[in-house]
Amino acid sequence: MISAFEALNLRGGMSGVFLTITMYRVLIVDDEIPFLESLATFDWENYGCECIGKATNGEEALNKCMQSLPHIVITDIDMPFMDGLSLLSKLNEIFPEIQVILLTVHQKFNFAQMALQSGACDYVIKTMDYQEQLIMALEKAKKYFINHSILIDSRYNLLDKGGRILIIESEEVINNYRSEIEDFFNKKYSTLISVCFSYKFKNIIEIIEKIDSLPKIIEITVGIIIRGLSCVEFITDYSVDEIKKRLLFEMYNKNNITINKNAIITITECGSFLKGYLQAHKINEEMYFMNFYKPLNRINISCEQVFSSLYSNTIIEWTQNIKVNIKSKTQLNQYISMMADECKKLLYHPTEVKKAFRLVLYKYEALYSIKSHENMHKEIMEAENIVDLEKKMIDIINAIQNEANNYSFIVNTSLEYIRINFKKANLQLPEVAQYVGMSPGYLSKKLKEETGKNFQEILINFRMEQALALLKNSNKKIYEVAEQVGYENYRSFVNAFSNYYGVNPKKIK
């Protein structure tokens, strides 16, 4: 993982150009706030690192990795939402270059073996004097990048053709190294070419190899910008019309169909300053995302297109209406189609749409007290277009409803009773068992068998969902929310909420 600043500090030789890392970016992850804060105060700079962020669960950490691409992730194993081993598995799949150091309370040798076999770089035992272990683990992680220095071989001749390479991993990089990046834009440019591929490359080397297969673009390039692992941009002083003519000639007259099948090329005017580039990048990016709603040509001359914002009020309305329509599969399918139609009409940003649909899915799973299926949520986020998203959402929710319909009469009746009465502070299993005419022991067994959760877990699920909605969408104070969801003791509510969501309710307000 190379930042913009590091890419600008090129050190060359006869054999090629190396990109060096001057500061390693570290993300720390732990749901135990005291230990997380202790990690944050570690002397990172003294060991060639900078702490770029904190997260309290695996899901939050994964999102931050996508935004800021750290070199090293230090994560606890036992956490809510997504544990450390699941996070490690995800990172190995999506960002194999990220080095992961696991935090654990286990001191047994077999755990070390398990951690390393799972793909972790190293592990640190959470003790009072963990710092020495951490220093050794960091050195081990840094060795990976030293041994895997990225070499841009001279056969590509990128620099010989007047081009310079700038690697921008995130918007945070632009803010942190603004002056260095502005130096990159020290020449009069006129056009930005964005090549967005329909897949992600494994690493920077693959991107460089792909660039080398685009000779006509490289010949007219004065600057190359790599944005993430699926987008390459070329800055040129040729006009938009001239670029289009050259690309069409290259793709159709010379049968160079590699780009034609695998990418969308967008061209727009830019200026000689960073601000002009950022505006052009945003325009080209939004043009690419338009492919979510309608197929685009392979070469597009972009004009400014601004997506509408998908506000939280709309998402709340969707989740509430989904609850109203749960009794009819036909109505439910129609409502999901209505959601998709609204997105197409108002052109909500595709990323926001996918996240909103996934949130609706979470709420629907909670409504039926069904365990969340990670693969289903992954399908939502990987939908190629709005039609695909609508179909996947309908199929998944119908599958959930079918699963819920497989509950016995006793379990369904019990869940409905808990759903109506979870606000009662003294609600206990015997009361529910008496309502359905069963013994507490038998009902407890049936709930666990059919839902995968015990009574207390189901009750907390209903209470926490309602608490989160009240905290986000009302002016009620935390103690008032606690009372409304069945907690007479303020501190008990705070502890329960923090354990469930991995964050103190004060941060929600």
In a domain, 306, yes or no: no
Any idea which residue has 């009361």 for tokens? Answer: 431
- The answer to whether residues 453 and 386 belong to one domain is no
CB atoms within 10 A of CB 119: 15
Dihedral of the alpha carbons of 153, 158, 161, 163, in degrees to the nearest 10: -140
| pLDDT for res 135 | 94
How many domains in the chain? Answer: 4
186 pLDDT higher than 50: yes
Position of tokens 């799973």? 365
Strand 223-227 relative to strand 72-76, pairing = unpaired
Predicted confidence (pLDDT) per residue in 43-74, tens digit: 998 998 989 899 988 888 888 887 677 889 99
Residue 486 and residue 362 in one domain: no
* Domain co-membership, 110 together with 179: no
Annotate 3-28 with DSSP letters as a single string.
Answer: -HHHHHSEEEETTEEEE--SSEEEEE
The pLDDT score that the predictor gives to residue 160 is: 36
Using the structure block, give the residue that is written with the tokens 């996918």: 354
Residue 8 in domain: no
User: What are the counts of helices (DSSP H) followed by strands (DSSP E) for the chain?
Assistant: 25, 14
The enclosing domain of 474 has a CATH number of 1.10.10.60
Does residue 375 sit within a domain? Answer: yes
Confidence of residue 341 (pLDDT cuts 50, 70, 90): very high
What's the mean pLDDT when you consider all of the chain?
Answer: 77
* Domain boundary pick from 377, 405, 433: 405
pLDDT band at 410 (very low <50, low <70, confident <90, very high): confident
462 shares a domain with 427: yes
Question: Among candidates 56, 52, 82, 50, which has minimal Cα distance to 67?
Answer: 52
pTM of the model: 0.43
Residue where a domain stops, chosen among 405, 420, 455: 405
Instruction: With CA atoms as reference, report the closest residue to 33 among 468, 502, 505, 509.
Output: 502
**Considering the domain boundaries, does residue 165 fall inside one?**
yes
CA distance 266 to 252: 17
| Residue 87 in this model has a pLDDT that exceeds 60 | yes
Same domain, 126 and 80: yes
Out of 262-266, 356-360, 493-497, which region has the weakest mean confidence (pLDDT)? 262-266
CB atoms within 10 A of CB 169: 22
The tens digit of pLDDT for each residue in 374-387 reads: 778 888 988 888 99
Query: Encoding tokens for residue 330?
Result: 């036909």
* Chain length of the chain: 509
In a domain, 307, yes or no: no
**Dist CA 70 CA 73 (whole Å):** 7
Nearest to 188 by CA among 121, 231, 236: 236
| pLDDT band (50, 70, 90) for residue 252 | low
- 164 with 265, same domain: the answer is yes
Residue 372: predicted pLDDT: 62
What pLDDT shows up at residue 249?
A: 66
- Bridge partners of 100, per DSSP, are 73
Tell me which residue has tokens 């390393």. Answer: 116
Query: Rounded mean pLDDT of 90-117?
Result: 76
For residue 171, with 0-12 CB atoms within 10 Å meaning exposed, 13-18 middle and 19 or more buried, which class applies? exposed
Cα-flanking dihedrals φ and ψ of residue 476, to 5°? -65, 145
pLDDT given at position 331: 80
Q: Taking the chain, what is the end-to-end CA distance rounded to the nearest angstrom?
A: 36
Highest mean pLDDT among 142-156, 224-238, 291-305: 224-238
The strands making up 150-153's β-sheet, listed across from edge to edge, are 10-13, 16-19, 150-153
Q: Are residues 118 and 165 in the same domain?
A: no
Helix ranges, 220-273 (H): 240-248, 258-262
Overall average pLDDT of the 146-168 stretch: 47
Tokens representing 77?
A: 């194993």
**pLDDT at residue 355 tops 50:** yes
Nearest CA among 178, 194, 186, 192 for reference residue 272:
186
If you search the block for the tokens 């692992």, which residue do you land on? 229
Q: 164 with 295, same domain? A: yes
Among 353, 381, 405, the domain-final residue is 405
Phi, psi of 233 (to 5 degrees): -120, 145
83 inside domain: yes
CA distance 24 to 138: 10
Residue 29 shares a structural domain with residue 85? yes
* pLDDT (average), residues 122-136: 88
* Main-chain phi, psi angles of 126, to 5 degrees: -80, 90
Instruction: Kindly indicate the confidence band of residue 406, based on its pLDDT and cuts at 50, 70 and 90.
Output: confident
CB 285 within 8 A of CB 351: no
Q: Is the pLDDT of residue 456 over 60?
A: yes
Name the residue with higher pLDDT: 317 or 34: 34
Give percent above pLDDT 70 in the chain: 72
Confirm whether 157 is domain-assigned.
yes
- Rounded Cα–Cα distance for residues 372 and 80 (Å): 13
Which domain, by its residues, includes 467? Answer: 409-508
Examine residue 11 and state whether it is found in any structural domain, yes or no.
no
Quick one: 479 and 433 in the same domain? yes
* Class of residue 198 by CB neighbours under 10 A (exposed 0-12, middle 13-18, buried 19+): exposed
* Contact present, 75 and 29 (Cβ < 8 Å): yes
Q: Do 295 and 160 share a structural domain? A: yes
**C-alpha closest to that of 456 among 334, 345, 369, 329:** 369
DSSP 94-118: H-TTSEEEEEES---HHHHHHHHHT
Do residues 397 and 419 both lie within one domain?
Answer: no
Residues facing residue 166 across a β-bridge: 225
Sheet holding 99-104, edge to edge: 49-55, 24-29, 72-76, 99-104, 122-125
- Give me the CATH number covering residue 107: 3.40.50.2300
Contact between residue 200 and residue 232 where contact means Cβ atoms under 8 Å apart: no
